[in-house]
Each structure stands twice: as structure tokens, then as C-alpha cells.
Amino acid sequence: MRVLDRNGSTTHSTPSLATHRSHSPRHGSRRGRSRFLLAFLTASAASLALPAVWSSAQPPSDPGTRQRIQIRFPDSTPNPQEPTNTSQQVANQPQDVLKPKDGKLTDVGRQTIAPEANRGAQTNQDPITVASEEEKNQKIATDWKDPWLVFFITGSQSGYLEPCGCTGLANQKGGVNRRDTLLTSLKKRGWNVMPIDGGNQVRTDGTQSEIKFQWTTQAFREMGYEAAAYGEKDLKLSDNILVSILDNTGSNSLFVSANVSLLPDFDLRYKVVSVKDPKGRTHKIGITSILGEENTRELLRNGESYFKVEPPIPALKEIAAKLNEEKCDFQILIAHAGLDETRAIVKEVPQFQLVVTSGGYGEPTYRPEVLPGSRSEIVQVGSKGMYAGIFGLFDSADQPTRYQRIALSSQFEDSPRMTDLFGKYQDELKAKSDNTFSSLGLRPLTHPTTREFVGSERFVVCHKTAYEIWKNTPHAHATESIIEPPERSLTRIYDPECISCHVTGWNPQGVYPYRTGYTSVEQSQQLLGNGCENCHGPGSKHVEAELGDIEADKQLLETLRSQMKLSLERAQDKCLECHDIDNSPDFHKTGAFETYWDQVKHYGKD
């Protein structure tokens, strides 16, 4: 049942959470546009059984042509300390976690830690993406007795709906499939579990990211998420995402923000959720979120015009007063902000008992951080959706809260319903993957050399030995590995993020095709596999000159041959374009390049 009162508040009734009241009292000059779109967006969302997919066939707009974001920073409000997202992680790991009991992780409780204690030795290092043996065998809250509410904390998915899989799924962390399995297992304990998310579902703009955002919001609704924040990467998407924010009733009951306004009729500045504990007592849970100032500045560099952002602290103080008026028993702030800015916000608005931050780097800390003199417990979400956190509330004066971070490792099997949803996401990519990928907003670009791709077989005449070596490496079978992934049931051959490293003629980091590069299995047989030209560059001119198809004197021949040569130093850089920290973490160990090069080494002309 849903009731809309005169103040724009909604009341819902669900089996597990008694009542929800979502507040959206902000109205402004965009109300006319809001009402104009309301009927269309509502009809679009309600007409689809699965997520409303409203994706433009046009490529992403040129950032240089975008209008600047509308943002109001009063002159009297100084900017807070610049947040930093470098390492601030390690030193607060307790000794009983550094030396796990029985070889397995246990949960730890609250500890007051000064800000400096979170700064460790991981400065500018990549996050640890490979699951340890301990992370594959975690004990999950084995000694938690009767929490009356458990918050399930995630965030910073950054486009990683699932682990890549190239280095073996057993070794990697993250994925919505595993997340849902963990969440379901907690609910099966009879616990009242409230999932919340810190934002940044995607890592870049473009049509594929918009589609990914839409399916992520559908996953959130199926998993029963209570609230999610907006991240700056989410807001870099076009206003096509507005339909994803609405549920099938045409309302927004998921995305909450004190200082971000997309459309006045859809804004939720905060939520109040009533929860009953095992003794039948009702508790009011207040939830809001903010987008930090540094994150907003990133938006200003490539701004959009369909939303407004207010300075976080004044907006939060306004909402904090409303939560106090509501007499909330427990208040949550989701701070999509750097760790330093999150701390500054906690000092300015200290009433939130739980603060979920997207700040920090890599792995979340083992314990919540509590600033001296504060009661707010700050919990990090980590990066790339590799972790979930559980934060329990207990009817105990000695230990009213407990926390455990959980790596989403292969310990958790894939959820069937999320696997089905991911299959629908891949089906949509397939439906939009024509021969130019234009429906996914991808424009084939001319290669920087201006040369064209011809396929590895064209080099056999002069480079037979090198070609035979390549044919017997995994590179030659890279396309096959995404047509029929060895550890998965769903093909990835229509997914540009996979295609870009598994065929010939794409930019692996930019995730776009070059002209004359791979277009489809049927039309690009000569470009299947990660071929010679991905490292040496397109070979059309070289082949034409060597075979006499164009006139070439000795000097031109030598010039074209020189253009195709690749030194070992440059070769390592080329390797890293695909063998990045997510896909090939072992490739980043000392001496790894030399080891792998020895398996594929080949030299010039026969």
C-alpha cells in the first residue's frame, strides 16, 4: 500500500520493515519540467516488467559542448579541506584480525581511532584484487546474537557488475551475484537486514554505462535495498538515467540525497524507516546522503545540466534538524565524499551514529573509525564492489553495535536470480551490437598511425615462426574465451568491455573500435584473437609494400618495417593495456613481464 500525503511524503508497508516515510519537500524553478517529464517517465517505468531501458542511440556528447552544472556555493561558505583518496587504511587493523583465529577472519567491534591511525603503507598502490585464502574461508558473524537490525553496506561498484574472470573467478572478489548470495544468507538467519549503498555504480559515461546503471538499480530493487547515494560518476551519465531512478509505480523510493536534486517531484532528501525489534518495540531509522564538494568539482569539469547540487554541510544541517524533529532513534549518513571531507562533515554535523563513506582507498578498514570526541562510526565501502560490510545493532549497553567487513570471494556462489538478470543485461548489449556498435554510442576511430588492420595471417609469408608461436598462445584464442567463457554459462562476445581485449583492432583502455578493426565474428574472421597488430600496430602499408601491391623503394620499405617493430620496453607497456590489475594481478609482480615474455617470445622475420 502506498499513500501520498499533501507534503509529498510517502508511506509504504512491507513485511520486514514496518513503515517507510520518504521526504521530498524541495521545489524550485524546474517544477514545470519535472511535471512535464513525470507522466512520460512514470509510464515508461510502469510499462516494463524489468528495468525501464531508455537508452539513446546517439554516442555520448562531446564534453566540450555540455552545459555547466547548476551549483550554488554561497560566497560566505569556505571550501573545506580538500579530501584525499590515497591510502588511509592499514594501521587500524586489530591484532586478532592480523592473526586470524583458526585461520579465519572474525568480526571486530568499535574502536576509537585518531585520523592518523588509518594512514598506512599502501600509498598509491592498486587495491588488492586477489582473494586470500582467509577471504575464501570467512566466518560470518558467528558470535552475533540477536541483532535487532543489520545494515548491509556496499558501494563504489564502479561498473564491476561481476569480476572480470580472466585470472580465474576463484581468485577474484566482487560481483552482484555473490553479493546477493551473502545478503540472502543473512536474511535466512531471521535477521532484519537493511541494504544501503554508497553510490558510483559506474566508472565512465556512455550508453553501456547507462544500461549498466539501469540493470544495477533493478538488482537493488530485487535485493531490497533501502537507500542509495548518488555518486559523481552516476551523475555524469545523461538524463536517460532518470527513468532508472523510478520504480514501477513511477516514484523514487531508492535514491536519497540531502544536496543533489535531479527533478523536484522525484527528490528524496531523507527517509525515515520504522523497524520493530524482537521485543516488539518500534525504532525510527533516519537515512540521508550527501555528495562531497571535491566530487562535485569533478562534475564541474564535465558538467550536466539536469540536476543541481548544494553545498553539503548547509544542506545536511537542514536535513539533520528534520531527522531530529522526526525523533529518529538511529541516524545514518551516506557520505559520497573523500575520507578527509567525510571527517570534516562528521565534525560539523556529529549526530549521525553510522557514517558510510566512499572515501579511503582499496580495501575497507577492519574496524569503523571513530573520531576523538565523536559518537559517529565511519565505515568505508572499499573499491570496485569487492567488499560488503555488515553493521549490527544490539540490545546491549556494553556493545550496542558490531561491524564486520566481508570480501565477496568465491566463498559465495552466484545467485541464480542475479545471474538471470545479468543475462538480460548481456542480451540488451547483443540487441544494440550492430556492425558499428553505434547503438552503444561507440564510433570507430581512425588509428593514430592512419594505417588499417589486415589480420595476423597476412604476415605468415615473412614471419612464419612468429606466427606459429602466436597461434599456440592464449592470445590466438582470446575471442573463443568470451564466446564460450570457461567458467561461465553466458557469452560475453557482445560486451565491448570484454571485446576490447579479446579481438584485434580495438582500443583496450578506451573501449572503442578502430576503423577496419573487429566488428563481428561473422565479418571479422581475420581479426579474431588478440593478434599481432594489437601490439605492433596496423600492418596494411607494411604488407602492401612487402608484397608489391604498392610501389616502395628501399627507404620506404625500411621505414614501414621500422614502424612495425616493438622494443621490449614498449612491449611491456602494451601488455599492461589489457593485463591490468583487475584482469591479471600476477602480471604486476616483480619480474612478471620477463616470465610471461619467455612463454611467447618471438623475433622478427624468418
Q: pLDDT tens across 475-530, in order? A: 999 999 999 998 887 899 999 999 999 999 999 999 999 999 999 999 999 999 99
Residues 6+ apart with CB under 8 A from 567: none
From 398, 415, 432, the end of a domain falls on 415
77-81, 176-180, 210-214, 341-345: segment of lowest average pLDDT: 77-81
Contact 480, 473 (CB under 8 A): no
**Do 393 and 467 lie in a common domain?**
no
Top-confidence residue, 25 or 582? 582
pLDDT in the model for residue 41: 52
Residue with cell 550554488: 72
For 546, the 3-state DSSP assignment is: helix
* Domain assignment of residue 432, yes or no: no
Can you tell me the distance from the alpha carbon of 160 to that of 140, in angstroms, rounded to the nearest whole number? 23
With vertex at residue 125, the alpha carbon angle to CA 119 and CA 127, rounded to the nearest 5 degrees, is 90
For the cut 90, the answer to whether the pLDDT of residue 199 exceeds it is: yes
- 93 within some domain: no
180 and 106 share a domain?
yes
Higher-confidence position of 64 and 157: 157
Residues 408 and 449 in one domain: no
Q: Residues in the chain, how many?
A: 606
Contact 446, 505 (CB under 8 A): no
**Which residue carries 561507440 as its cell?**
442
CA distance 163 to 156: 14
405 with 448, same domain: the answer is: no
C-alpha cell at 553: 623503394
pLDDT at 300 over 80: no
- Predicted confidence at residue 269, as pLDDT, reads 97
pLDDT at 157: 95
pLDDT at 82 over 80: no
Would you tell me the crossing angle of helices 312-325 and 339-348 to the nearest 10 degrees? 50
Contacts of 487 (CB under 8 A, 6+ apart): 165, 168, 169
Shared-domain flag, residues 406 and 524: no
Q: Answer for the pair 114, 367: CB distance below 8 angstroms, yes or no.
A: no
What do you get for the CA distance between the two ends of the chain, in Å? 76
Question: 485 and 372 share a domain?
Answer: no
Domain finish residue from 415, 436, 460: 415
Residue 85's Cβ-count burial label (10 Å; 0-12, 13-18, 19+) is middle
C-alpha distances in angstroms, 234 versus 24, 304, 333?
Answer: 20, 11, 19
CB 8 within 8 A of CB 251: no
Q: Does residue 320 sit in the same domain as residue 364?
A: yes
Instruction: Identify whether 71 is part of a domain.
Output: yes
Phi/psi-derived region of residue 12, left when phi > 0, alpha when psi is between -120 and 50, beta in every other case: beta
The domain of 485 spans 444-600
Q: Structurally, how many domains does the chain consist of? A: 2
- Asked if residue 475 and residue 393 are part of one domain, the reply reads no
Which three cell numbers mark 465?
615462426
Q: Which residues contact 584 (CB under 8 A, 6 or more apart)?
A: 166, 167, 578
With beta carbons less than 8 A apart as the criterion, state whether 25 and 8 touch.
yes
Task: Please give the pLDDT value at position 304.
Answer: 55
Give ∠ CA 588-591-594 in degrees, rounded to 5: 105
Predicted confidence (pLDDT) at residue 251 exceeds the cutoff of 80: yes
d(CA 517, CA 523): 10
Cβ atoms of 236 and 159 within 8 Å: the answer is no
Biggest distance spanned by C-alpha atoms of the chain:
91
Residue 315 dihedral angles phi and psi, to the nearest 5°: -65, -40
Nine-digit cell string for 215: 540493470
Indicate if 497 and 365 belong to the same structural domain.
no
The whole-angstrom separation of Cα 33 and Cα 514 is 39
Phi, psi of 272 (to 5 degrees): -125, 120
Pairwise CA distance, residues 343 & 346, whole Å: 5
Mean local confidence (pLDDT), 272-299: 94
**What are φ and ψ of residue 216, in 5° steps?**
-65, -45
422 within a domain of the structure (yes/no)? no
Angle of CA points 94, 409, 117, to nearest 5° = 25
Q: Average the pLDDT over each of 31-40, 52-61, 134-143, 582-591 and give the range with the smallest value.
A: 52-61
Mean pLDDT of all residues in 416-440: 91
Task: Specify which residues 255 forms β-bridges with.
Answer: 228
For residue 212, pLDDT over 90 is answered with yes
Does residue 156 form part of some domain? Answer: yes
Output the CA–CA distances (angstroms, integers) from residue 198 to 154, 220, 336, 356, in the order listed: 6, 12, 6, 7
For position 302, what pLDDT does the model report?
A: 64
Q: What is the pLDDT of residues 355-382, one digit of tens each?
A: 999 998 879 999 999 998 889 999 999 9
Q: What is the pTM of this model?
A: 0.82
Predicted pLDDT of residue 22: 53
In-domain check, residue 85:
no
Q: Helix, strand, or coil here: 28?
A: coil
Model confidence at 338: pLDDT above 70: yes
- Write down the pLDDT at residue 519: 94
Rounded CA separation 30/306 (Å):
9
pLDDT of residue 28: 42
Asked if residue 233 and residue 110 are part of one domain, the reply reads yes
Q: Tell me: do 464 and 397 sit in the same domain.
A: no
Q: 3-state SS string over 120-148?
A: CCCCCCCCCCECCCCCCCCCCCCCCCCCC
244 contact partners, CB below 8 Å, separation of at least 6:
51, 52, 54, 210, 213, 214, 217
Does residue 94 lie in a domain region?
no
Cβ(191)–Cβ(145) below 8 Å = no
The whole-number average pLDDT for the span 296-302 is 81
Please tell me the predicted confidence (pLDDT) of residue 587. Answer: 86
Residue 298: predicted pLDDT: 83
117-143 pLDDT, tens digit per residue, is: 332 333 334 447 788 999 999 999 999
Q: What is the mean pLDDT of the chain?
A: 82
The answer as to whether 420 is a domain residue is no
Q: What CATH number does residue 289 fall under? A: 3.60.21.10
User: Which stretch of 44-48, 274-278, 593-597 has the lowest confidence by average pLDDT?
Assistant: 44-48
pLDDT exceeds 50 at position 99: no
The DSSP-derived string for 68-88 is: PPEE---TTS---PPP--S--
The answer on 268 and 216 residing in a single domain is yes
